[in-house]
Structure 1
Amino acid sequence: MFYVNSEVGALRQVVLHEPGLDFERLTPGNKDALLFDDVVWVSRAQQEHREFQQLLQDRGVTVHLLHNLLAEAVKADEAAEFVLDRILHDRQPHMGAALAQETRKVLGAMGPSELATHLLGGLNKRELVEALGERRSGGGSLGLDLLADHDFVLPPVPNSLFTRDTSCWVYDGVAVNPMMMAGRRHETVNYEAVYNFHPMFAESGAHRWIDGEAMAPAAIEGGDIAVIGDGTVLVGLGERTTPAGVEILAHRMFQAGSALRVIAVQLPKARALMHLDTVMTMVDRDAFTLYSGLDRDALRSWTLTPGTRRPVEAVENKDLFAEIGAALGLDAVRVLQTRQDPYSAEREQWNDGCNLLAVSPGTVIAYEVNENSNRMLEDNGVEVLRIKGDQLGRGRGGPRCMSCPIERDAA
């Protein structure tokens, strides 16, 4: 049984995605549509990621790679059909029925590992035409004819690197999240295939808090969700998560008796602050790091509980951290902010200085570039395990974003 009972308890198992074909296809021309701020030195990004994997394994964490999970899932014909039904249809603006049929013919003929590679890394016109060869149907396809050789029939999804967002475990259930941005919606289908058909998950008996694509247009992303313990979940309301998404998550957990309360925090709607974990993460049983550009006393929050007249009722809090402390049975919560000039603060926040992955209480993984933030944490008794992130961070995500815990102890 998989479960995540906290943000800081001992981490046991995690899902990561190592950069591959998806990163090789990032260019200056398509990076904005694919939600990256720059192109990436792929071999260096892979090296950085493998060092991240090794650090986790050295700490006793079992690492599962998304490509391998997806490949194992689509070994089942039913799983491959599930994915292809959802990503190839004539309602997609760039495709049409003829192109969808040709693309399905090619992807359906691939072996599981190759199919997983292209579900993550995309497929372009040249690859499609070469694979079809003499099998190409007569009459042509308007959608195909309009494409240049290197235009994508199926776009890559390099944001799969950030495994936390699309799938996150909350206590004894998993949320397969509908993504706010169009460039990430295909990721949801890949994860639905993994959780529905991979032998490791299909019989797990876990609750499904969020139903993926069926949830749209409501949206919620894992970077906004923190399992802080004692039946409490913290959720950010910013650029990528909607009130409807929060209320659906809360209602389903309340119905199952898996959570007692959800604390929703209002965030500025800005790319640099796109998720809760870009500005705030739990680093110890009683401690949170908070971006110094935010005033802790000015953060608006609401506590959601099971309602008597409606499924979920929300009451605005006077003080976010007092509410968190009360929920966790603490006299006080330590809020750790780095004292630095506004330029350094903004730069380190952009480089994910607050985006930290705890491997045990008071021990976190952080990007080495954030020197001031890391020093501040150590001055407050938090052990910092540093990793390189010069290339990995170009999609705006740190160690927490790049990890989807599927088993973690209570703190």
Structure 2
Amino acid sequence: MSFHVDSEVGRLHRVLVHKPELALKRLTPSNMHSMLFDDVLWVQRALEEHEEWQRTLSERGIEVHLLADLLRETVEIPEARKHILDKVVDERWFGPLATDAIRNTLDSLDSATLQTHLTGGITKREIMDRDCAPKSLAFHTLAMDDFILQPLPNAMFTRDNSCWIYDGVSINAMRMKARKNETVNMEAIYRWHPMFASQYETRFKVWCPGTAMAPATIEGGDVLVIGRGAVLIGMSERTQPQAVEMVARNLFRAGSATTIVALSMPKARAFMHLDTVMTMVDEGRFTKYAGLGMLPSYTIEPGDNDKELKVTDHPPQDMHRAIGRALGLDDIEVLTAEQDVHAAEREQWDDGCNVLAIEPGVVVAYDRNTTTNNFLSERGVEVVTVPGGELGRGRGGPRCMSCPLERDGI
């Protein structure tokens, strides 16, 4: 069993997904913005849609791995459990008087219960129900239903906290506080879970080391492995230029990539990640939100030695040609449905461009984005639809909700 992602559109063989049941149940009108959501989802329907999404992948012959299963199996390993608890139970958040008691309480949980709380959060009331009531100023000032561990509803978007780039994985330092503990969980899974442990840094490489990368942050929604040794990265509100340089240096030193094209994106929530406005659907073909326009771009190549990088600036009008040249093409084909500005903005909000290619020219998309889906179909792209009435309100589509673990090249 090997792990590698050699393109965006080659045949997909294995993928990591997450169904965040408890975390979604803890999403409320009063906390949704701090958890980076714009709405409160109907949990039952969202979970049904997620199960349909999993079935669709499985029926296409794709092996689906569930994050909850991997994390539960990981925290059965003492070293992995210690790593996670050392990172998430920090006196800078809990105060020195409460830290040991909270950590010991969490450490006493069985693996399934600990996994549930690492992703779904745990409240002061739930901690006290386990006879933990430290004499701590920080602890006593919390209301009974305040969170000791924050829920991680955004872990549903498994693309972001880690992403595979050719023969290695980038364990990503997240930009927003609400998502930082996702990285801690992924560090432990890749380092200690039996599926990965024997290959860690031997048969696959680690491009970003996780939390140690901060304050340079990068998120997988901004990273497109477009193939043939090329990577396309959006420098968004979540992914910083210094992180792009660090990833480029590591990829080039290993000989795993030859070119990175970085796009300077608007720093706005509406353009949260590159894959919310532009994804690849076939060899040399991309779907793109009309409102994105043309962006300044930068081609990054190896320099004269392994400490140097060569950076070439491109004006906005050369954006598509810069991407094409990285693929060995004169240009790329961009597929953008013709619709009025209001309809286009609605479909972009509903992740019309956030499609997951499962093989060349075959993509999975939310059924609600009819204009974009029909436009792609008319141009020879097979569109497999999944329900997204509730999941789409989380501001992430099929690509966001998937972390490919094994994918062919082009």
What TM-score does the superposition give when structure 2 sets the normalisation length?
0.96
Is 2:150 the partner of 1:152?
no
Counterparts of residues 164-313 of structure 1 (less than 5 Å):
164-204=159-199, 205-295=203-293, 298-308=294-304, 310-313=307-310
Deviations 1:177-227 (A, max 9, x none): 000111110110010010011011111231100011101110110000000
**2:131 and 2:308 mapped to 1: Cα distance?**
52
**2:353 and 2:97 mapped to 1: Cα distance?**
47
What's the counterpart of residue 312 of structure 2?
Answer: 315
Deviations 1:107-130 (A, max 9, x none): 101111111110000110110000
Counterparts of residues 362-377 of structure 1 (less than 5 Å):
362-377=361-376
Q: Which contiguous aligned blocks of 4+ residues in structure 1 show a shift greater than 4 angstroms?
A: none
Counterparts of residues 76-91 of structure 1 (less than 5 Å):
76-91=77-92
Matched pairs, number? 403
Amino acid paired to 1:350 = W
**2:89 and 2:308 mapped to 1: Cα distance?**
36
Provide structure 2 residue ranges, at least 5 long, that are not aligned to the other structure: none
**1:272 and 1:365 mapped to 2: Cα distance?**
22
Is 2:16 the partner of 1:15?
yes
Amino acid paired to 1:201 = F
Amino acid paired to 1:172 = D
Answer whether contact 2:355 2:363 (CA < 8 A) is retained: yes
Answer whether contact 1:19 1:42 (CA < 8 A) is retained: no
Q: CA deviation at 1:327?
A: 2.3
Q: CA deviation at 1:331?
A: 4.3
- After superposition, the CA RMSD in angstroms is 1.1
**1:234 and 1:357 mapped to 2: Cα distance?**
16
Corresponding residue SS for 1:354: coil
Counterparts of residues 79-118 of structure 1 (less than 5 Å):
79-92=80-93, 95-118=94-117
Corresponding residue SS for 1:110: coil
Corresponding residue SS for 2:130: helix
Deviations 1:354-376 (A, max 9, x none): 00000000000011111111111
Corresponding residue SS for 2:15: strand
**1:294 and 1:145 mapped to 2: Cα distance?**
48
**1:371 and 1:83 mapped to 2: Cα distance?**
43
Answer whether contact 1:352 1:398 (CA < 8 A) is retained: yes
What's the counterpart of residue 31 of structure 2?
Answer: 30
Q: CA deviation at 1:78?
A: 0.8
**2:97 and 2:389 mapped to 1: Cα distance?**
42
Aligned residues: percent identity?
A: 51
What's the counterpart of residue 351 of structure 1?
Answer: 350
Amino acid paired to 2:79 = E
Amino acid paired to 2:158 = T
Answer whether contact 2:366 2:388 (CA < 8 A) is retained: yes
Corresponding residue SS for 2:79: helix
**1:58 and 1:84 mapped to 2: Cα distance?**
37
**1:244 and 1:331 mapped to 2: Cα distance?**
29
